[in-house]
Amino acid sequence: MSKTLLALKPFRPDQLTQLATQYPTLTVITPETLKPSDVDTINILYGYRQGTKRHSDLLNQLLASDSSQLQWIQSLSAGVDSLPFEALAAKHILVTTASGTHENSIAQNVLGYLLYFERGLQQAIQAQAQRHYGIDTTKVSNLDDKTILIFGTGHVGQKIAQIAAAFGMHVLGVSHSGRPKAGFETIATDQDYQPLLAKADYLVNIMPLTAETTHFFDKAFFDQLTTQPLFVNVGRGPSVDETALISALDKVQIKAAALDVFETEPLPLESPLWNYPNVLITPHTSGYVAHFKKAFFKIFEPNLAQFMKDGTLIRNQVDLSRRY
């Protein structure tokens, strides 16, 4: 059956060739050539980016139209938390994430943060700026035999777990269901994880943003900590109450933090976080992939093959009621 795809994220030339060859009944259109009369022919939105007004305006227009043929939205990101979930569910529109595209990148950033703080690189960089040859080695440590507690045990959490294990770390996890996943010694639910905190040297958030995970890391959370772990957020900014985080830094409830996401992005100029010597800020780049178009297409293409056959999908589909 013939389908029309709007490429909100452009394809590479070789990808267009592959699509034309493998899917002769698929028409690829682009925002630049989109005529108002074409809008209702769109079946697939490829590369939808939540938070981009041009994209959400188009989606709202499609959802408002009775003659819209929209069937499937391929999100550009691994997390989707600000979509019109109810309207999409009511119209039985499928949503897939880019989950799997970013997992290597995010896992590598997390290990980069840990090594930066633990292996004395932060100290060395500051010493180098002063032409000083020497660091306080009593503050240098190893990752092996340390314990990492990962909040979120999906694709990315599992990739972090896998690499952490290669470094000789003990890997614990927290998820909504607490279901066992490969690479974790123990997984607790988001209700009964507290006993794991006392074992953790590193806390890493990679949970999706939902009602339950909004401000999950709040004052009550930080007040439970006794081991001064390093805190890493590569999930979503609003999962952390930044006022509580700053207070945890002031009270040394955590020894340092590496933050890639923030309650407000870009991080406002007046945020106190900029100035903490034991806070490392990366500008929402942990998931950055050098060959993104290639990696993204690799996630999308098996779903397209299935979709062209029978209108179903085989991976990365969002449960619109759970919202992830």
Residues that bind a second copy (CB under 8 A): 104-105, 108-109, 111-113, 115-116, 118-121, 124-125, 127-128, 131, 133-135, 137, 140-144, 162-163, 166-168, 265-267, 269, 274, 280-283, 285-286, 288-290
In whole angstroms, give the CA distance from residue 228 to residue 295.
37
Question: Which DSSP string do the residues of 51-68 spell out, in sequence order?
Answer: T-HHHHHHHHHHHH-TT-
Whole-angstrom distance, CA of residue 10 vs CA of residue 19: 13
Q: Tell me, what DSSP letter sits at residue 209?
A: P
Given the complex with a second copy, which of 70 and 259 has the nearer CB atom? Answer: 259
Least separation in angstroms between CB 150 and a second copy: 16
Q: Do 46 and 301 touch, CB atoms closer than 8 A? A: no
Nearer to a second copy, 122 or 303 (CB): 122
CA proximity to 217, closest of 203, 227, 228:
203
Closer to a second copy by CB, 205 or 286: give it: 286
CB of 195 to a second copy, least distance (A): 26
Question: Is 253 strand, coil or helix?
Answer: coil
CA angle centred on 200, ends 198 and 201, rounded to 5°: 125
Rounded least distance, CB 169 to a second copy, Å: 11
Toward a second copy, which CB reaches closer, 78 or 318? 78
Q: Are strands 279-281 and 256-259 parallel, antiparallel or unpaired?
A: parallel
Instruction: Report the candidate in 196, 194, 191, 190 with the shortest Cα–Cα distance to residue 175.
Output: 190
- Residue 283's nearest CA partner among 260, 256, 257 is 260
Q: Smallest distance, Å, CB 7 to a second copy? A: 21
Q: Residue 105 CB, nearest distance to a second copy (Å)?
A: 6
Of the two residues 3 and 155, which places its CB atom closer to a second copy in the complex? 155
CB of 160 to a second copy, least distance (A): 12
User: Which residue lies nearer to a second copy by CB, 59 or 135?
Assistant: 135
User: 26, 3 in Cβ contact below 8 A?
Assistant: yes
Strand partners, 27: 4
